[in-house]
Amino acid sequence: MMVIVDLMRMLIDFTYSILSAIAQTFVGPRLKSVDGELCLITGAGGALGRLFALEFAKEGAHLVLWDCDTVANEQTAELARELGVGVSVHCHTVDLSRREDIYEAAGRVSREVGSVTILVNNAGVVAGRRLLECPDELLERTLLVNCHALFWMTKAFLPQMKANNHGHIVTVASALGLFSTACVEDYCASKFGAVGFHESLAHDLHAEDLNGIKTTLVCPYIVDTGMFAGCEIRKEFRGLIPPLDPLYTVQQAMNAILGEQQMICIPRLMYIPFLTRALLPWEANVATYRFMGGDKCMLPFIKKSEQKGSNGHVESS
């Protein structure tokens, strides 16, 4: 009998979720206020991190900005202070590839600033080399910054969110965390890991009935920040799927965050390869990738990186 009752509840929740999602597609979600919240953004010196900081400052959130580039981070802070009236901004130089640095900086934030209520895990790197020609240290660094750091950031800031049953954790992953392409094994692995970590964490919070802690997974296509400079699909399709404008990307992500949307792919077209990857045979996906030029799209990027002798691109994903 209990199984039947639980089944009915599940079907009601299932139907409500679908109808609610359809309604929000046409009407738009109700956006929450983050005025007075304390928002920590990693990779705040990069293009997307800076824009996130400015958008949250506009909304009245106080900011804690982390980046390994002190100068770029301070520049972001100055822009945020000018834009957000009455908004406090704190900067810390943090190497996210070092667990000890994360915990030390997190302790300093808790003591000197307060409890972080919005955590935006935005920082990301890519080695920019072919697998067999890439130094192991660069490959490890990609995994440490893009994936492992999510564990340490969450362990540092989630306990206080749980104590208050209040908070929001944002993971800026990538479309390449939902489906893969050639020549960026380190990046794809790290972003698949980020997506898996985020989804498991969301399930964990639901299992504990911590409904006051929200999560948002952001999966954008290639953003025109210079991180993947030179990457291009078949020329006939470049107008259909051009690199994303950074401001557009952040604004779409902000709408999802403030609307407490659990996941967003930017643009919506990215849901298609995500679904076909799961539904179609491997060979069918490969044929489509080759037709679109997706199997070789990273080669110009890799070539440019090797010509520059890059030590890895430090940029928001």
**Residue type, position 105, single letter:** A
How many whole angstroms separate alpha carbon 55 and alpha carbon 244? 17
Looking at per-residue confidence, does 293 or 1 come out higher? 293
Helix extents (H) in 165-298: 185-207, 246-258, 271-279, 282-292
What is the tens place of the pLDDT at every residue in 83-109?
877 899 999 999 999 999 999 999 999
Asked whether 177 and 219 are in contact (CB, 8 A), the reply is: yes
* Token pair listed for 87: 């908004």
**274 Cβ neighbours under 8 A, 6+ residues apart:** 175, 178, 179, 265
Please give the Cα distance from 54 to 44 (Å, whole number). 10
Euclidean distance between CA atoms 185 and 215, whole angstroms: 26
Q: Is pLDDT larger for residue 189 or for residue 314?
A: 189
Rg, C-alpha atoms of the chain: 20
Q: Which amino acid is at 307?
A: Q
C-alpha neighbours within 13 Å on the C-beta side of residue 164: 12
pLDDT digits 0-9 by tens, 151-186: 999 999 999 999 999 999 999 999 999 999 999 999
Active site (annotated) includes residue 248:
no
Distance CA 63, CA 193 (A): 27
pLDDT, one tens digit per residue, over 189-210 is 999 999 999 999 999 999 999 9
Nearest C-alpha neighbor of 55 from the set 316, 264, 250, 267: 250
Q: Domains (ranges, CATH) in the chain? A: 32-314 (3.40.50.720)
Sheet with 89-93, side-by-side order of all strands: 89-93, 62-67, 38-42, 118-121, 167-172, 213-220, 263-266
Instruction: Say whether pLDDT at 317 is over 50.
Output: no
* Pair of tokens at residue 289: 């990738």
Amino acid 163: pLDDT: 97
Is residue 20 within 8 A of residue 42, CB to CB? The reply is no
pLDDT over threshold 80, residue 311: no
Q: 103, 187, 271, 289: which one is catalytic?
A: 187
pLDDT in the model for residue 233: 83
**What is the percent of the chain where pLDDT is above 70?**
96
How large is the angle between the packed helices 149-164 and 99-112, nearest 10 degrees? 30
76 membership: H or E segment, kind and range = helix 70-83
291: left (phi over 0), alpha (psi -120 to 50) or beta: alpha
pLDDT at 74: 97
User: Mean per-residue pLDDT for 30-38?
Assistant: 95
Amino acid at 142: T
Q: Give pLDDT, residue 313.
A: 46
For the chain, how many helices (H) and strands (E)?
A: 11, 9
Predicted pLDDT of residue 38: 98
pLDDT for position 20: 75
Residue 72 has pLDDT above 60, yes or no: yes
Residue 169 CA to residue 50 CA, distance in Å, equals 18
Give the count of beta carbons closer than 10 Å to the beta carbon of residue 300: 14
Q: Indicate whether 115 pLDDT > 60.
A: yes
Is residue 147 over pLDDT 50?
Answer: yes
Q: Kindly state the helix (H) or strand (E) to which residue 69 belongs, with its residue range.
A: none
Q: Is 156 exposed, middle or buried (0-12, 13-18, 19+ CB in 10 A)?
A: buried
Region of 46 please: left (phi>0), alpha (psi -120 to 50) or beta.
beta
Amino acid 309: pLDDT = 60
Q: Which residue has the tokens 């010509």?
A: 307
Average pLDDT rounded to a whole number, residues 287-308: 84
For residue 316, what pLDDT is reported?
Answer: 42
Mean per-residue pLDDT for 25-31?
77
The 10 Å Cβ neighbour count of residue 130 is 17
Mean pLDDT, the chain, whole residue set: 91
Model confidence pLDDT, tens digit, residues 222-244:
999 988 888 888 887 777 888 99
Residue 234 has a pLDDT of 82
pLDDT given at position 312? 46
Q: Over 70: is that where the pLDDT of 140 sits?
A: yes
